[in-house]
Structure 1
Amino acid sequence: MKAPPQIVLDTNVLVAGLRSRNGASFELLRRLPTGQYRLHLTVPLAMEYEDVLHRPGLLPLPVDAINAVLDMVCAVAVQQPVHFLWRPQLRDPSDELVLEAAVNASAGYLVTHNLRDFAAAGRFEVQVVTPGQFLKLLDGAAP
């Protein structure tokens, strides 16, 4: 049996998925517990998720609902230790956390809405794809 794809989600994918039930970001969150793919998460990236998702006015959800999603993400994700710090590689320091998680996890995919922010990922053999591209890959089509 083929192993599921190993991925890291950029924070913007969680934000988009929680803002709207329409779209690829929400569908990825919905599929997370199914095992169709394996999400890897470092402690710094989990803290980034929590910090961003709790910003006042960012999401149309009560705090309890946001916490429930964060709890699910943390429970389902592979807890990835950070063995190597690869900074600086990117222009935005908050993006470094995402790339660092992907590299330390040897993830095949980094899923983001901002492809150009992760130009350096290629040198680490991490494919940077949008949520829509990754869904196509999961469903058997080329990204």
Structure 2
Amino acid sequence: MKTTKIVLDTNVLYSGLYSSEGASYVILEKIYDGLVIPVISTPLIFEYEEVLKRDQSILHLSDNEIDKLLDNICDLGEAQRISFLWRPYLKDPKDDHVLELAIASNTNMIVTHNIKDFRGSENFGINVIKPGQFLEKIK
């Protein structure tokens, strides 16, 4: 299996940490196995941190565990600088940085549970798919 680059939306990271039963968890395993490479940016890592630390009691993770997790994602991921902003483009401006990351990195795939939030991404050649669809695609 060849490696696949993706932009991992925060809700997929959260879901994978919340439950070890679903496709989101399997994607996290594939990241740790080096089969999937998350493309990351500073704004995305800050968003991961904010969401995970806000809900850390639900996830049963300490600040230290979240920091280590984010360090691992940074080590395993491919950092991308975003030098051109397409805002506002998406319905929810908080998602624009995710689309901008996919465009800047030439990553043609955003994996998310909220496909509708990324309507119009196809105009940039970006496929937006759910975790289960992604796993089917890379079989």
**Global fold match (TM > 0.5):** yes
Aligned to 2:108: 108
The alpha-carbon deviation at position 20 of structure 1 amounts to: 0.5
Say which SS state the counterpart of residue 71 (structure 1) adopts.
Answer: helix
8 Å Cα contact 1:5-1:108 kept in structure 2: no
In structure 2, give the amino acid aligned to 1:30: E
2-structure distance, mates of 1:52, 1:37:
22
Cα-Cα RMSD: 1.5
The normalised TM-score by structure 1 is 0.89
Give deviations 1:53-75, integer Å, cap 9, x for gaps: 11044422222222222111111
Report if aligned partners of 1:36, 1:138 keep a CA contact under 8 Å in 2: no
State the shift of 1:106 in Å.
0.8
Contact 2:115 2:130 in 1 (8 A): yes
Rounded to whole Å, the distance in 1 between the matches of 2:58 and 2:107 is: 29
Alignment partner, residue 23 of structure 2: 24
Q: What is the match of residue 84 of structure 1?
A: 84
Query: Which segments of structure 1 move beyond 4 Å, counting only runs of 4 or more?
Result: none
Bigger drift between 91-100 and 75-84 goes to 91-100
> Identity, % of aligned pairs?
41
Q: Give the aligned partner of residue 129 of structure 1.
A: 129
Give the TM-score normalised by structure 2.
0.92
Q: Which residue of 2 aligns with 1:61?
A: 61
**Cα pair distance change 1:122/1:38, threshold 3 Å:** same
The answer (yes or no) to whether the contact 1:18–1:59 under 8 Å persists in 2 is yes
Secondary structure of residue in 2 paired with 1:40: strand
Query: Unpaired segments of 5 or more residues in structure 2?
Result: none
- Separation in 1 of the partners of 2:81 and 2:52? 22
1:58–1:86 CA distance, 2 compared to 1 (3 A): farther
Q: Give the CA deviation at 1:33.
A: 2.6
Other-structure match for 1:37: 36
Q: How many residues align?
A: 138
Change (3 A) 1:96 1:58: farther
> For the Cα contact (< 8 Å) 2:43–2:97, is it kept in 1?
yes
